[in-house]
Structure 1
Amino acid sequence: MESPLDDLTQYVILRDDLQTDGRSWPRGALIAQACHACVSVNSIFKSDPNVCRYTSLENLPHLRTVVLSVESETKLLDYYNILTANLVSSHLFTEQPENIVTCLATVPVEKSKIISNPKRCEAIEKIND
């Protein structure tokens, strides 16, 4: 059964170098970072209409999240800046007390709006390349 909100998608971008470069974060720790980023962004932007729709009880069985990766903290910050410049609300999650920026999550975004506006989609398309 399709949800009327099928086009709402939340994007999570994780740093791939946290599993390489001698760091070797466990898979569970990386999954936790993605979870923390999603909870954080949905809490920070809780009055955003898309967050309200996406987290509504009737939509919970239909959540759609896309998880992507980037090679470094620098690339993650680049994508955060691109998203911000293109008015896509997102949150950078920083692991404490280590103060390590690990990932970002966007508010749920209507796919049709991203696809119809190449500039808003730039970060997502570049990450998929």
Structure 2
Amino acid sequence: MAAAGAAALVQYVVLRGDLTRPPLSWPLGAVVAQGCHAALAAAHAHRQHPDTRAYLELGGAMRTVVLEAPHEAALTELSETLKQHSVDHEVWTEQPDNMTTCLALRPYPKDQVHQYLKKLKLLK
């Protein structure tokens, strides 16, 4: 059973904001794809967790929040913080460039992980 009601579950995706700005200037579709890869990787890696199962059963009612890390170093720092606090997540590294582009948490009740993400802004 999920730790909280299924309606309270959210999957957070954190993308590098600098990917769309010069000098990188990635197309919007390529950046969206990075977030999709990370979200699917996190859901797959933690597919047996009760919260992930409950989240996936929500279908069209799933809640995803997409946040922005300003650059790669901030994304790496966030990943280290999440590891230190045993927060399940997956970091996506685009190949063949070996460039870290985003990370996604498995679905969590918001109140369990919000404290690690509250300084980040919604992706614009």
TM over 0.5: yes
Partner of 2:54: 53
Q: 2:33 and 2:86 mapped to 1: Cα distance?
A: 26
What are the superposed Cα offsets for residues 78-117 of structure 1, whole Å, 9 maximum, x if unpaired? 11111121221000001111111000000001123x2xxx
- After TM superposition, the structure 1 = structure 2 runs for residues 85-100 of structure 1, keeping only pairs within 5 Å, are 85-100=84-99
Partner of 2:83: 84
Partner of 1:123: 116
Gaps of 5+ in 1: 115-119
Partner of 2:26: 25
The code of the aligned residue for 1:39 comes to L
TM-score scaled by length of structure 2? 0.88
Following TM superposition, by how much is the alpha carbon of 1:44 offset from its aligned partner in structure 2, in angstroms?
1.0
What are the superposed Cα offsets for residues 37-57 of structure 1, whole Å, 9 maximum, x if unpaired? 01111111111111111112x
Q: Percent identity?
A: 35
Q: 1:128 and 1:47 mapped to 2: Cα distance?
A: 30
Q: 1:53 and 1:122 mapped to 2: Cα distance?
A: 22
Q: 2:36 and 2:89 mapped to 1: Cα distance?
A: 14
Partner of 1:117: none
TM-score scaled by length of structure 1? 0.85
Number of residue pairs aligned between Structure 1 and Structure 2: 118
Gaps of 5+ in 2: none
